[in-house]
Structure 1
Amino acid sequence: MRPRLRLPLRPPAWTATLTWKSACFIVVMCCSLAAVLGALVHVEVTRQTVATAREKALGKLHDASRAYEAGEALPPDAGLDPVGLPPELRALAVGGQRATVVADYRGRPTMWAAAPADGRALAAAIDYGQSARTISGLDNAIIGSSVLAIGGTLLVGAFAVTRVTRRLHQTATVARRITQGDLDARVGDPRTKDPSRHQDEVATVAGALDTMAGSLQAKLESERRFTADVAHELRTPLTGLQAASELLPESRPTELVRERVRTMRQLTEDLLEISRLDSGSEVVETDLHQLGRLVRRVVRASGTDTEVVVVRDAHVETDRRRLERVLGNLVANAHKHGRAPVVLTVDGPVVTVRDHGDGFPAYLPAHGPQRFRSAGKGHGLGLTIAVGQARVIGARLEFREARGGGGLAVLTLPDASSSPAEA
């Protein structure tokens, strides 16, 4: 039975960060573009509106000048030094210049035009309220449309970015599942299955990951089948060889032959067990067991001088045979590759096996045990089997360096309930 892998329910932090960064970039770009376009439209429309009003004011001032020179009555809203004429405009007119200016007159915006007239200022005024309202309405329309455009662009951009980040998150999740041993995991992006659809970068990455996973699965399956086939083929001749060795007369050479045959049979059984673990077809038979009692039974069966310390006993629901296999391999490895004293400690659901030797090889704590790689005698299969069986029963097995020297194997069991320590 392949162990179940629990996947994270929420996307990782990098996905959310990418979404927010993309959203902020979209907002900044939209705001900048809207501000530039709005400013350009505002300046151009204001210039045209002011120019039109100025032409009207100057036209009215021209009519007033002709009437003044002819001695006729001045048009309405025109006169000499009229009330409300801005002082700066009057100063320019008295100084001999013709100019216009916009100012408030009786609470309303007014366009004034003034020209010199016998040392005084001849001025004409037109209502600038409609032009001011036009410019103000235009500014409000620019702001409103910019807000709507920014909001719409942000929603569309966030939707598009979220789709991309969701696909990236799915790809990363599948990669983590493959790393954890689930070689059946695939992204399955539909774009990679339909050649007629556009292949974007995310689809390319997803397709490459699926191809890599398929190739890796095929290679591992081929390796597993080869291991199983070799082990099965060795079983029959080794059985015959063991039977033949039992018929030999007792002697030192006979003992050496029998020892080598036992070693070969053990190696063959270990290879078969590893092959079954790799296939994921193991069936777990769980029951409730008292951990302290089970540990003592393992130590007695090992026939080694191993000290057992129960700090806090616990009842665990697990497969007894597989747990005993894990602990037995850890104890055997501690005696084979470490030095006495070897201490097996139970502290609730955590079981540790510590020796006082030179410690584990550098690669072991970082990468775990590797087949047929051992720092000393042996084939490196015992710890490989221990890790595989621990994974099957849902436990976590770690290898560390103990304080003061030596190797420390830490086995953490799931679903444990504590009980008082045994006397």
Structure 2
Amino acid sequence: MSLRWRITATIAVVSALVAVALSLMVHYAYAFQQAEEARELQTERVELALRAYERTGSPALDSRLDSAEVPARLRDAAGDGYTATAITDGDDATAVWAAVPTSDGRVLSLRSSYAPRLDDLAALDRVLLVGSALVVALGAGAGVVMGAGLSARLGRVAAAAGRVAAGDRGTRVSEAVGGSARDEASELARAVDAMADALEARIAAEQRVTADIAHELRTPLTGLSTAADLLGEGRPAELVRDRVAALRALVEDVLEVARLDTATQRPDLSDIALAEFVRHRAARFGPDVTVRSVSEQVVSTDPRRLERILANLLVNALGHGAPPVTVEIDGSRVRIHDLGPGFPDTLLQEGPGRFRKGPTPPEGGGGHGLGLTIACGQAEVLGARLSFANHPDGGALAILDLEPGKPRR
């Protein structure tokens, strides 16, 4: 049940309880008042009838002497010298009685119908029922209006927060929620804005540090690479040059990740025949990679970024999987399947992580855990979707769909 209907149901239930409670109070108060008025009126009438009887010696005003119909408790009270009244429910109708002792030791009684007062009470109950129904209806209507307003504001907060999470840094949740009231929804929006600003500032600082470190490493790396080239031939020199090359590749990857993190990269689009493009790039990886085209299609994409994605996926498949690696092109979708142990569960659940590497291959190496991160970042720039799964027949499966949506302009 949505928040709107919860608020409506709560207000309707509270309105119904209040209406029932008030209606019962009014009903019993009016019934008590009617009974008291009937008793007082009947007492006055029987006293008038007594005075007339004492003067004339005969009952008046429809009064009776020693009537057998008088309730026993009234007869006993009158016999004790008291004037007594009672309201009884008879077989035919409800009546109000009054009894008074006479000077000659007899009991003078008076009986009147109570039906008119019961009719008044029934009319009041109908009015209370209609009024209660109106109160519940108005309460439910007010709940719908209040709930709809609050639900709409919270919905705008959620939508704006979603845009912020998607990278739209210009969105302000407090502006999206609207309204001038300083209520919980406005406080929530301001809290989300403050959290987003703090996270953005922290991420920007981390990106600057990463980019600065990687950039500053370029200069000593260049000197180190030059010095390594001056070394003579031999195993030590080869190891030095190999590590310098690996460090240079790491610095370039870190710089690329830092650029992708800024969300300012834009694709340089052109039309390419996807199957031919993939077949040509995959040929560089030798016979361990086979390409199969199900259907060919011309797509609009950035060739340089697409080449980077394909290279990283193939390097990962060959480095962490097992040949043969199969590349299948179906329209705008590219599927890369290897016969290795498959992707780890953490990658399938959380996505690629920086510097989080899979099992190291037997021949050593294994990269720095940035290849799939860069591939995902480049795919996001292209407006493509890159997903990872494990093939039912074994091995890892990467699926690149180049046309799930439009690329960023």
Deviation, 1:330, is 0.5
- Using structure 1 for the length normalisation, give the TM-score: 0.76
Identity of aligned residues (%): 38
| 5+ long unaligned stretches in structure 2 | 77-84, 361-365
Distance in 2 separating the partners of 1:287 and 1:141 = 77
Deviation, 1:246, is 4.8
What SS does structure 2 have at the residue aligned with 1:408? strand
| 5+ long unaligned stretches in structure 1 | 1-15, 417-423
What is the aligned counterpart of 2:71 among 92, 104, 120? 92
Distance in 2 separating the partners of 1:111 and 1:221 = 89
User: What CA deviation, in whole Å up to 9, does each residue of 1:342-364 have, x standing for no partner?
Assistant: 11223344322121112223321
What SS does structure 2 have at the residue aligned with 1:409? strand
Instruction: Give the 3 Å change call, closer, same or farther, for CA 178–415 of structure 1 in structure 2.
Output: closer
2:63 aligned with 1:50, yes or no?
no
AA in 1 matched with 2:381? V
Contact 2:339 2:395 survives alignment (8 Å): yes
User: Which residue of structure 2 aligns with residue 344 of structure 1?
Assistant: 327
Distance in 1 separating the partners of 2:272 and 2:51 = 117
Deviation, 1:337, is 1.2
User: Which residue of structure 2 aligns with residue 401 of structure 1?
Assistant: 390
Deviation, 1:220, is 1.2
2:336 aligned with 1:353, yes or no?
yes
AA in 2 matched with 1:63? L
AA in 2 matched with 1:400? A
What is the aligned counterpart of 1:139 among 125, 128, 145? 125
5 Å-filtered alignment, 1:7-18, equals 17-18=2-3
Aligned residues: 385
AA in 2 matched with 1:354? H
Distance in 2 separating the partners of 1:275 and 1:182 = 18
What SS does structure 2 have at the residue aligned with 1:283? coil
Instruction: Give the 3 Å change call, closer, same or farther, for CA 104–365 of structure 1 in structure 2.
Output: same
2:352 aligned with 1:369, yes or no?
yes
Instruction: Give the 3 Å change call, closer, same or farther, for CA 239–270 of structure 1 in structure 2.
Output: same
What is the aligned counterpart of 1:285 among 268, 277, 280? 268
User: Which residue of structure 2 aligns with residue 8 of structure 1?
Assistant: none
Distance in 2 separating the partners of 1:95 and 1:41 = 30
What SS does structure 1 have at the residue aligned with 2:356? coil
Deviation, 1:80, is 5.2
RMSD: 3.8
User: What CA deviation, in whole Å up to 9, does each residue of 1:134-153 have, x standing for no partner?
Assistant: 43443344334333433343
Contact 2:289 2:327 survives alignment (8 Å): yes
User: Which residue of structure 2 aligns with residue 26 of structure 1?
Assistant: 11
Instruction: Give the 3 Å change call, closer, same or farther, for CA 223–319 of structure 1 in structure 2.
Output: same
What is the aligned counterpart of 1:150 among 133, 136, 141? 136
Range 49-58 or range 178-187, more displaced: 178-187
The list of structure 1 runs, each at least 4 consecutive aligned residues, that deviate by more than 6 angstroms after superposition, is: 102-105, 116-121
Contact 2:75 2:107 survives alignment (8 Å): no
Contact 1:57 1:112 survives alignment (8 Å): yes
User: What CA deviation, in whole Å up to 9, does each residue of 1:144-175 have, x standing for no partner?
Assistant: 43334333433444444444444443444444
Distance in 1 separating the partners of 2:322 and 2:72 = 110
Range 283-292 or range 32-41, more displaced: 283-292
Instruction: Give the 3 Å change call, closer, same or farther, for CA 187–381 of structure 1 in structure 2.
Output: same
AA in 1 matched with 2:348? P
What SS does structure 1 have at the residue aligned with 2:35? helix
5 Å-filtered alignment, 1:5-404, equals 17-68=2-53, 70-71=55-56, 75=60, 78=62, 90=69, 92=71, 96=75, 99-101=86-88, 111-113=95-97, 123-125=110-112, 129=116, 131-132=117-118, 134-182=120-168, 185-188=171-174, 201-243=184-226, 245-246=228-229, 251-303=234-286, 305-375=288-358, 376=360, 377-404=366-393
Distance in 2 separating the partners of 1:270 and 1:48 = 91
Contact 1:338 1:358 survives alignment (8 Å): yes
Distance in 2 separating the partners of 1:242 and 1:95 = 123
Instruction: Give the 3 Å change call, closer, same or farther, for CA 251–28 of structure 1 in structure 2.
Output: same
Contact 2:270 2:302 survives alignment (8 Å): yes
Distance in 1 separating the partners of 2:113 and 2:123 = 20
- Using structure 2 for the length normalisation, give the TM-score: 0.78
Deviation, 1:215, is 2.0
Contact 2:323 2:340 survives alignment (8 Å): yes
Deviation, 1:39, is 0.3
Instruction: Give the 3 Å change call, closer, same or farther, for CA 51–258 of structure 1 in structure 2.
Output: same
Range 47-56 or range 94-103, more displaced: 94-103
Deviation, 1:68, is 4.7
Distance in 2 separating the partners of 1:165 and 1:94 = 65
AA in 2 matched with 1:113? W
User: What CA deviation, in whole Å up to 9, does each residue of 1:357-394 have, x standing for no partner?
Assistant: 12223321111112222123211111110010111112
2:399 aligned with 1:413, yes or no?
no
What SS does structure 2 have at the residue aligned with 1:188? helix
